[in-house]
Amino acid sequence: MVRLAMMMCVVAIKCVYGRRPLPPLPMKGGCYHVFSELDVYKVEDEAVILAFPIFESVLEVRNIAPPTASYIITKANGTEAASHQAEGRVQQHNRQLWFLPVQVSDAGEYICTYRNETYCVTGSITLHVYKSSSVDVDMVSYSISATVGENLTCECPSLHNFNRTLIKWHKTSSPTALHRARKGSFHQDQGNLKIPAVKRSHAGVYTCQLSVLINNQQYKVSRLIKLDVEGSNPEMTTAPDRVPTSSYSTVHLNQPPVILSPLNGSIFESPHGSGLELFCTVLTECEKSESTIVTWMVNGRSAQLYRDGRILQRERKITKLAAGCMIDVGLAIVAMTEDDVKAELKCITQNQGGRREAVVQLQLEDATFTWLVVAAVAVSCLLTVVSVFLYALFKPKRKKKMDYILARQNSIF
């Protein structure tokens, strides 16, 4: 009993100092609020499935999973009473919202709420819907780039929520579908667009289209890909049959990584002279995880370049999640000083899709408050140990069975 009480005290003291510094989520309308998702741009009269990958990743990273919680998706100007059911044109299926098909009136902000009686977490995503006659190509299209002479293979993007069917490609200036063609021209192969030896003339906007079957009904799905070609066409010095066509480089669509933690503007407190470890947590596509840079900057200088032994950047750790791959890079501060309070700390991530950063600040914790907490924990532990010890020492003893038998023999019975 005494040993158990002492172990409880050790655990309590560790909780004061040994907690991983995940910044708290901001509170909005009585619910914890998660980072907003990247905006989604679609064209009317097509099937659209709205998901919340960043929200799901935050729930997984922070281990937020109340067993009795409900998951509701509503429009920002709506209420939970008007939440969508698993039927009709707009349907909620588990943690996704299906538009069969989407209409211009569906545009707006959508809120996903994960709550039970005592806990509530929300996330949001903004849906933009364009009319077919007035599509903003720059907003709706996925941008890729290629170099003159490169063998290009382009996939039809963001189809993982749909069952794959026959995919047809065409250039926007030519509505005729692209078929297999002579060597040196573009063609489609197993749903991918292939262009051997890219030329400047191949630049432009391409459309991939497919039909999907949902609830025994056909719906149209399309994606626009804007191809930019860099370089100039070389003079024809070799015969066309020398152009290599056997190897292709697959171009993946550019989407920037997302910083899950820390929140931009977060403040971390620690007592003077104590250690502190921060974590830069980034979510990206798994195929880009190796090429994604995740690093800490201290006063505009890479934390890896600090040689005083007081600030150390940890090795990166990659974890595969349902929504992609999570990259963790820690920054350890061996002993907090007043100089650290003035330092500018940045969590920076970058890959071919773009760059993001989050700035954090350090603050010295009030030593008086810290010692009051430690003293309170220590006094509670001491009282617990003393109480257990006194109970064990003065615990009343039971009468032996033999004394009871002798007393029965001396009675009048």
Other Cβ atoms within 10 Å of 226 Cβ, number: 17
Highest mean pLDDT among 14-28, 218-232, 366-380: 218-232
Is the pTM above the cut of 0.85?
no
Supply the pLDDT for residue 46: 93
Q: Which residues contact 98 (CB under 8 A, 6 or more apart)?
A: 47, 48, 49, 50, 90, 91, 92, 214
Give residue 187's pLDDT band: very low, low, confident or very high (50, 70, 90).
low
Q: Answer whether 141-232+245-251 and 258-364 agree in fold.
A: yes
Q: Could you tell me the maximum CA-CA distance found in the chain, to the nearest angstrom?
A: 130
Listed range (217-221, 228-232, 286-290, 384-388) with the worst mean pLDDT: 384-388
Domain ranges of the chain: 25-133, 141-232+245-251, 258-364
By C-alpha distance, which of 38, 53, 61 is closest to 317? 61
Give residue 260's pLDDT band: very low, low, confident or very high (50, 70, 90).
confident
pLDDT in tens, 305-336: 654 556 778 888 888 887 788 898 888 887 77
In angstroms, rounded to a whole number, what is the distance separating the alpha carbons of residues 312 and 314? 6
Q: What CATH code would you report for 258-364?
A: 2.60.40.10
Q: What percent of the chain has pLDDT over 90?
A: 9
| Mean pLDDT to the nearest integer, 260-274 | 80
Question: How many residues are recorded in the chain?
Answer: 413
Give residue 241's pLDDT band: very low, low, confident or very high (50, 70, 90).
very low
Q: Measured in whole angstroms, how far is the alpha carbon of residue 330 from the centre of its chain?
A: 17
In angstroms, rounded to a whole number, what is the distance separating the alpha carbons of residues 289 and 318? 8
By C-alpha distance, which of 159, 136, 147, 125 is closest to 200? 147
| Mean pLDDT to the nearest integer, 65-73 | 76
Tell whether the model's pLDDT for residue 80 goes beyond 50: no
Sign of the C-alpha dihedral computed for residues 74, 78, 81 and 82 taken in this order:
negative
Listed range (33-37, 234-238, 383-387) with the worst mean pLDDT: 234-238
In angstroms, rounded to a whole number, what is the distance separating the alpha carbons of residues 211 and 46? 10
| Mean pLDDT to the nearest integer, 155-181 | 73
Give residue 261's pLDDT band: very low, low, confident or very high (50, 70, 90).
confident
Residue with tokens 């002479």: 149
CATH number 2.60.40.10 is the correct assignment for the domain at 141-232+245-251: yes
In CATH, which superfamily holds the domain spanning 25-133? Immunoglobulins (2.60.40.10)
Supply the pLDDT for residue 97: 93
| Mean pLDDT to the nearest integer, 31-52 | 88
